[in-house]
Chain A
Amino acid sequence: MECDNYLRPWSRRQLLARAAYGLGAAALHSLQASENRAFPNFTPRAKRVIFLFQAGGPSHLDLLDYKPTLKERYDQDIPPSVFGGQRVTGMVAHQDRFPIVPTMYGFRQHGESGRWLSDLLPYTSKIADDICVLNSVHTDAINHDPAITLIQTGSQLPGRPSMGSWIDYGLGSENQNLPAFVVLNSLPSNGMPDQGLLARLWGAGFLPSRYQGVQFRGAGDAVLHLSNPPGITAELRRAQLDGIAALNQRMEQRSGDPEIETRIAQYEMAFRMQTSVPDLVDTSKEPEQVRALYGDDVNKPGSFAANCLLARRLAERNVRFIQLYHRGWDHHGGLTEKLPAMARDVDQASAALVLDLKQRGMLKDTLVIWGGEFGRTPYAQGPVKPTSYGRDHHGRVFSLWMAGGGVKPGHTHGRSDEFGFNVAEGGVHVHDLQATILHLLGIDHQKLTYRFQGRQFRLTDVHGSVVREILT
Chain B
Amino acid sequence: MRQALTIATFCAAGALFAAPARIDYGRDVRPILSENCFHCHGQDSGKRMANLRLDTAEGARPVLASGKLYQRITSESKALRMPPAASNRSLTPDQIAVLKQWIDEGGGYSKHWAFVPPVKASIPEGENAIDALVRRRLDAEGLKLNRPAAPGAWLRRVSLDLTGLPPTPEEIAVFEKKPGYAAEVDRLLASRRYGERMAMDWLDVARYADTHGFNNDAERSMWRWRDWVIESFNSNQRYDRFLTEQLAGDLLPRPTLDQRIATGFGRNHVINSEGGIIDEEYRVEYVADRVRTLGMSWLGLTLECARCHDHKYDPVTQRDYYRFYAFFNNVPEIGEDGRVSNAVPMIPAPTADQQKKLQDLEASMARLTAKVDAKATSWRWHKKYARLFDAAKPAGATIDVPCAGACVFDGEKPMTPGQGTPISKRGGLTMSAWIEPSPGDRDVPLLSAIDYARNRAATTYGTGIELRLTNGELEFRFGARFPAYSIRVRTEGAGLAPGERHHVALTYEGAAGKNVNRVYAAWVHAYVDGRELPMRVMHDGFPLPDEKSDKGSPTRFRIGWDNSPDGPRFAGRFHGIAFWDRALTGPETAALFESSALPPAVAAKQPSAIETGWLRRAVLRREDPAYKEREAVRGEWFALRREMPTVMVMDELSTPRETHVLLRGGYNTPGEKVEPGVPEHLLGGWPEGAPRNRLGLAQWLTKPDHPTTARVVVNRFWQQIFGQGLVKTSENFGVQGESPSHPELLDWLAREFIDSGWDVKALLKQIVLSGTYRQDSAASKELIARDPENRLLARGPRFRLPAETIRDQALQFAGLLKNREGGPSVRPYQPAGLYTGLVVAADYPGTSYVESKGDDLYRRSLYTWWKRTVPHPTMTVFDAPDREFCIVRRSNTNTPLQALTLLNDPIFVEAARKLAERAMAQEQSSAARLALMFQLASGRAPDDQDREILGRSFERMLAAYKADGKAARAFLAVGASPADSSLPAAELAAYAAVANMILNLDEVITKG
Chain A residues in the interface with B (C-beta under 8 A): 6-7, 9, 11, 13, 16-23, 25, 31, 34-35, 37-39, 87-94, 142-145, 157-159, 170, 185-187, 192-200, 203, 208-210, 214, 217-221, 223-233, 235-237, 239-240, 242-244, 246-248, 250-252, 254-260, 262-263, 266-267, 269-270, 273-274, 302, 325, 327, 392-393, 446-451, 453-456
Contacts and interface: CB of A to CB of B under 8 A. Distances in A.
A433 B785 CA distance: 43
Interface stretch (B355-363, B468-476, B510-518, B962-970): B962-970
Interface string B870-904: 11010011010010110000010111111111011
A460 B397 CA distance: 64
Given A21-B15, A35-B1, A91-B275, A208 B336 contact: no
A93 B280 CA distance: 14
Interface stretch (B125-133, B210-218, B523-531): B210-218
Q: Which of A91, A223, A454 has the most CB of B within 10 A?
A: A454
Contact of B960 (A17, A20, A235, A393): A235
B312 interface: yes
A185 B215 contact: no
A1 to B, nearest CB: 11
A259 to B, nearest CB: 6
B386 interface: no
B278 A239 contact: no
A258 B784 contact: yes
A12 B696 CA distance: 48
Contacts of A449: 2-3, 6, 88
Contacts of A392: 276
A31 B904 CA distance: 35
Contacts, number: 336
A94 B950 contact: no
Nearest to B1001: A247
Contact of B870 (A158, A199, A243): A199
Interface-centre pick from B460, B737, B836, B989 (highest chain A CB count, 10 A): B836
Interface stretch (B240-248, B627-635, B951-959): B951-959
B459 to A, nearest CB: 4
Contacts of A252: 1002
B900 A270 contact: yes
B702 interface: no
- Chain A to chain B: the 6 pairs with minimum beta-carbon distance, closest first: A454-B736, A231-B971, A94-B458, A38-B1, A16-B788, A89-B276
Given A91-B275, A239-B957, A229 B971 contact: yes
A268 to B, nearest CB: 8
Given A224-B901, A240-B997, A159 B831 contact: no
Given A196-B840, A200-B882, A250 B945 contact: yes
B620 interface: no
A393 to B, nearest CB: 7
B784 A16 contact: yes
Contacts of B312: 455
Given A94-B461, A393-B276, A447-B3, A233 B270 contact: no
Interface stretch (B192-200, B582-590, B775-783): B775-783
Interface in B1-44: 1-6, 8-12, 15-16
B788 A454 contact: no
Contact of A453 (B732, B779, B783): B732
14 contacts: A38-B3, A90-B336, A93-B276, A199-B869, A210-B891, A214-B897, A224-B897, A232-B967, A237-B903, A247-B1001, A255-B778, A257-B778, A258-B784, A453-B305
Interface string B260-301: 000000000010101111110000010000000000000000
B266 to A, nearest CB: 18
Nearest to B969: A231
Given A142-B276, A266-B895, 16 more contacts: A20-B12, A93-B455, A194-B841, A196-B840, A197-B838, A198-B868, A209-B891, A223-B900, A224-B873, A224-B901, A225-B900, A231-B961, A251-B1002, A256-B779, A257-B1008, A449-B88
B274 to A, nearest CB: 5
Interface string B830-844: 011110111111000
B953 A196 contact: no
Given A251-B1002, A454-B302, A210 B893 contact: yes
Contacts of A22: 8, 15
Nearest to A210: B893
Contacts of A232: 967, 971, 993, 996
A92 B430 CA distance: 34
A453 B731 contact: yes
Contacts of A220: 831-833
Contact of A270 (B305, B841, B899, B973): B899
A233 B461 contact: no
B837 A193 contact: yes
Given A250-B945, A270-B900, A21 B11 contact: yes
A143 B837 contact: no
A159 B885 contact: yes
B960 A233 contact: yes
Contact of B893 (A203, A208, A302): A208
Contacts of A217: 833, 837
Contacts of B873: 224
B897 A454 contact: no
How many residues of B sit at the interface, in one of the four size bands? 35 or more
B787 interface: yes
B276 A90 contact: yes
A23 B12 CA distance: 11
A93 B869 contact: no
A314 to B, nearest CB: 17
Contacts of A88: 457
B391 interface: no
Given A193-B837, A199-B869, A244-B1000, A6 B891 contact: no
B276 A143 contact: yes
B786 interface: yes
Interface in B670-696: none
A87, A232, A269 pick with most chain B CB within 10 angstroms: A232
A262 B898 CA distance: 12
Contact of A198 (B5, B869, B946, B956): B869
Contacts of B989: 231
Interface string B413-444: 00000000000000000000000000000000
B205 interface: no
B778 A254 contact: yes
A237 B953 CA distance: 11
A256 B831 contact: no
Contact of B950 (A31, A91, A243): A243
Nearest to A36: B1
Nearest to B213: A158
Given A197-B838, A259-B894, A273-B900, A230 B1002 contact: no
A156 B12 CA distance: 33
B48 interface: no
Given A229-B909, A231-B971, A267-B899, A20 B786 contact: yes
Given A143-B277, A247-B1001, A266-B899, A453 B302 contact: yes
A142 to B, nearest CB: 8
B258 interface: no
Contacts of B458: 90-94
B183 interface: no
A23 B11 CA distance: 13
B737 A454 contact: yes
Contacts of B953: 239-240, 242-243
Contacts of B578: none
A193 B732 CA distance: 41
A42 B779 CA distance: 43
A19 B799 CA distance: 19
A203 B869 CA distance: 10
A6 B1002 contact: no
Contacts of A221: 831
A145 B1008 contact: no
Contact of A224 (B454, B838, B900): B900
